Amino acid sequence: MKLDFSERVPAPPDRVFAALTDPTMIRSCVDGLESMTPAGENAYDLRARPGLKGRMTFLESRPGESVAIAVEGKSLAGSLKGELRVRLLPKGDGTLVEGSGDITVGGFLAALGPKMIESGGRRAVSDFFSKLSARLTSSKT
């Protein structure tokens, strides 16, 4: 499945980049993500409800400009593997976050069908950036 998105975040690109690469911030913005444990250079082991175990790796990053992330995980419901590339563009007093990625699902998750998976992916991205925006806004100095 192809996942493209564009979200506006009310913070400058350098703050958005710092938040997108901060495990504590990521964990607080993803529902059900219980832990992100360092697992080598630029990699984190993930644990999420219900029973998902996986890994997230920062493939490349340009502070304030872009980041590329690979994610893979497995649970009883199936598997997920994907790569996401994100660009940060200054937009007024905030940042336009443009992302593009490919996600592959297997097992029971794949049986849900592409439209349902795509809808869930878009909802998860929107929810993540809504929470990220709220956290960055509340922590302005």
- Give residue-wise pLDDT tens across range 41-96: 999 999 998 888 999 999 999 999 999 999 999 988 888 899 999 999 999 999 99
- Give residue-wise pLDDT tens across range 32-56: 899 999 999 999 999 998 888 999 9
Q: What are the chain's domains? A: 2-138 (3.30.530.20)
Q: Contacts for 78-84 with beta carbons within 8 Å, 24 or more apart?
A: 78/105, 78/106, 78/107, 78/108, 78/109, 78/110, 79/105, 79/106, 79/107, 79/109, 80/54, 80/104, 80/105, 80/106, 80/109, 81/105, 82/3, 83/59, 84/3
